[in-house]
Amino acid sequence: DIQMTQSPSSLSASVGDRVTITCRASQDIRNDLGWYQQKPGKAPKRLIYVASSLQSGVPSRFSGSGSGTEFTLTISSLQPEDFATYYCLQHNTYPYTFGQGTKLEIK
């Protein structure tokens, strides 16, 4: 199985900060990677697909980059509604695998 190593596992930041979350794949997954935001009690919501394409309706402060084995999600200027848990997902090979998650908390 492809392992997705996501870091950090938690992050404290302030409104207006720029934050970066990283996912590393244990083997080449091309750009078959998505980023998801999940708030408590809710289903995940896709932010980024195929590594760098912004999901329709998602604010442009979210961006993704990378290919192969290294990927990043960047939030350019944190807003109050961005405090949530973020996951990466590789959809290159079954079984699809998620990163462990990054809980983004208010400092």
Partner 1 sequence: EVQLVESGGGLVQPGGSLRLSCAASGFTFSNYAMHWVRQAPGRGLEFVSAISNNGVSTYHTNSVKGRFTISRDNSKNTLYLQMGSLRAEDMAVYYCTRGGYRGSYDYWGQGTLVTVSS
Residues that bind partner 1 (CB under 8 A): 32, 34, 36, 38, 43-46, 49-50, 55, 87, 89, 91-92, 94-101
Largest Cα separation within the chain, whole Å, is 38
Nearer CB in complex with partner 1: 50/106:
50
| Residue whose CB is less far from partner 1, 32 or 82 | 32
Q: Which is nearer to partner 1, 17 or 98 (CB)?
A: 98
Q: Give least dist CB 17 to partner 1, A.
A: 24
Output the CA–CA distances (angstroms, integers) from residue 4 to 15, 49, 70, 79, 98, in the order listed: 28, 16, 10, 27, 6
Rounded Cα–Cα distance for residues 16 and 19 (Å): 9
For the bound state, the minimum distance from the C-beta of residue 72 to partner 1, rounded and expressed in Å, comes to 17
Judged by CB, which is closer to partner 1: 43, or 60?
43
> Closest distance between partner 1 and the C-beta of residue 18, in Å?
25
